[in-house]
A and B are shown apart, each in its own frame.
Chain A
Amino acid sequence: MDPVLLLLLVLLGFMLAGSLIAVETRDLLSSVICVGAVGFGTSLVFLLLGAPDLALTQVVVEILVLVVLVRVVITRRDETRVTSRATLPVGLVLLALGVMAAVVFGMLATAGDEGLKMRPFGDPLLNEQAEAAVMAPAGETAPEGALAQMPKSVGGAFLAHGLTESQGSRGTGAANYVMGILLDYRAYDTLGEATVIFVAVLGAYAILRKVGRSRHAGNESDR
């Protein structure tokens, strides 16, 4: 078997164990640490699958979140003991694990010479017309002869056109293709993502603020 795939399966088992412990443990601090371990496993998986950008982001976010959560948990440890004692029924857990093992081994058993029965990276998903439309500059149609030379997928088209000027595509000039797609071809998506973060931060301020709260609490008639 592919050593990377084997490593991925081991990491998957580690992350599953971490998630189960995080759900089942009674100590809040242990739970938080287990969630952190699962996050670091995720970043390793990203690294093994060839996505260093995602791995880096996952690691730093995981560190920050772990620090914040550990601090909150340690601060509030004495007042809040565990509230929920409901443990999952053992039978249900065993059933879920059995189904999962059946799926994994079924996939491994039916895998041919080319590995798991999944679409390999770079395989065409859209037809060539759509690809040509995707790669044409805004407001223009694709050039006539371009269809034959087009790469076979959108991802391949981005890889072929992303760097330098060619075939009516301007090129981004970014050596990091991921950034070229995130902030040039798909900058709208990034704008939406930035909006999501902005709204999340606003929500955190609104929930955790103390100015309005204390004034409100001081006003007896409002209660």
Chain B
Amino acid sequence: MQGMSPIVKNMTRLVAGFIALFGIYIVLYGHVTPGGGFAGGVILAGGLALVVLAFGEEFARKALTHEAARTADSIGAVLFLLIALLGYAGGVFFTNLLPAGEVGKLFSAGIIAPCNVAIGIKVGAGLFGVFVALAVFRRAGAGGQTGKIEG
């Protein structure tokens, strides 16, 4: 599959940035408004999946590989664990060391916002990796043309 029609591609160019922006907003403001790392990460993964679907597998093999997704997934997990281990500086696992700050502001709630970022990276990369695995792996293994979805 070499991507969808030019209409879909152009619309994706317009929309993908806004989807990514919305996902990042949901992740960063998880401790102020509903949402958080998981939901924002899934939104990011959905935006990436839209790009891959619109621009085709070749694009996925070049730019958005599943190796990159795997690396980002591991980075998110390690980041989350590091934040948790940092709590030992205050005595216990997951101690909220950072200042609580002013309620309702972006820089508040201590380690909750960094944890959200780590979980967002982890979930987004993990789900996007699964999507790439489902969408690309089998077709590459099956030797090409198994049906087509042209937009």
Q: Do A and B bind each other?
A: yes
- Measuring CB to CB, which residues of chain A are less than 8 angstroms from any residue of chain B? 52-53, 55-57, 60-61, 63-64, 67-68, 71-72, 74-79, 138-139, 163-165, 170-176, 178-180, 182-184, 187-188, 190-191, 194, 197-198, 200-201, 204-205, 208-210, 213-214
Residues on A with beta carbons closer than 8 Å to the beta carbon of B34 = 52-53, 55-56, 176, 178
Residues on B with beta carbons closer than 8 Å to the beta carbon of A178 = 34, 36
The closest CB in chain A to the CB of B42 belongs to A60
B108 → chain A, closest Cβ, in Å? Answer: 5
The closest CB in chain A to the CB of B115 belongs to A183
- A179–B36 CB distance below 8 A: yes
Q: Mark B76-114, 1 if CB is under 8 A from A, else 0.
A: 010011001000000111111001111110001111100
- B96–A56 CB distance below 8 A: no
Residues on B with beta carbons closer than 8 Å to the beta carbon of A56 = 26, 34-35, 39
Interface of B is mostly: helix
The closest CB in chain B to the CB of A55 belongs to B34
The closest CB in chain B to the CB of A205 belongs to B133
Interface size of B as a range? 35 or more
- A187–B36 CB distance below 8 A: no
- B141–A165 CB distance below 8 A: no
Instruction: Tell me whether B9 is interfacial, beta carbon within 8 Å.
Output: no
Interface of A is mostly: helix
Question: Whole-angstrom distance between the alpha carbons of A133 and B115 in the complex?
Answer: 26
The closest CB in chain A to the CB of B80 belongs to A194
- B46–A208 CB distance below 8 A: no
A63 → chain B, closest Cβ, in Å? Answer: 6
- A164–B42 CB distance below 8 A: no
- Measuring CB to CB, which residues of chain B are less than 8 angstroms from any residue of chain A? 26, 30-36, 38-39, 42-43, 45-46, 49, 53, 66, 70, 73, 77, 80-81, 84, 91-96, 99-104, 108-112, 115-116, 119, 122-123, 126-127, 129-131, 133-135, 137-141, 146-147, 149
- A75–B115 CB distance below 8 A: no
- B130–A204 CB distance below 8 A: yes
Residues on B with beta carbons closer than 8 Å to the beta carbon of A139 = 91-92
Residues on A with beta carbons closer than 8 Å to the beta carbon of B147 = 74-78
Question: Whole-angstrom distance between the alpha carbons of A202 and B80 in the complex?
Answer: 18
A56-B35, A179-B36, A201-B126 known; A71 vs B53 contact (CB < 8 Å) = yes
- B140–A210 CB distance below 8 A: yes
A60-B42, A76-B147, A183-B116 known; A173 vs B101 contact (CB < 8 Å) = yes
| A172 touches which of B36, B91, B100 (Cβ 8 Å) | B100
Residues on B with beta carbons closer than 8 Å to the beta carbon of A72 = 134-135
7 additional A-B pairs beyond A170-B100, A176-B35, beta carbons within 8 Å, are A164-B103, A175-B103, A180-B31, A184-B96, A191-B94, A200-B126, A210-B137
- B123–A75 CB distance below 8 A: no
A68-B135, A71-B135, A180-B31 known; A194 vs B92 contact (CB < 8 Å) = no
Residues on B with beta carbons closer than 8 Å to the beta carbon of A173 = 31, 99-103, 108-110, 112
- B73–A67 CB distance below 8 A: no
A201 → chain B, closest Cβ, in Å? Answer: 4
Residues on A with beta carbons closer than 8 Å to the beta carbon of B92 = 138-139
Question: Whole-angstrom distance between the alpha carbons of A12 and B53 in the complex?
Answer: 33
A74-B147, A74-B149, A201-B126 known; A68 vs B116 contact (CB < 8 Å) = no
| B49 touches which of A67, A187, A198 (Cβ 8 Å) | A67
The closest CB in chain A to the CB of B34 belongs to A52
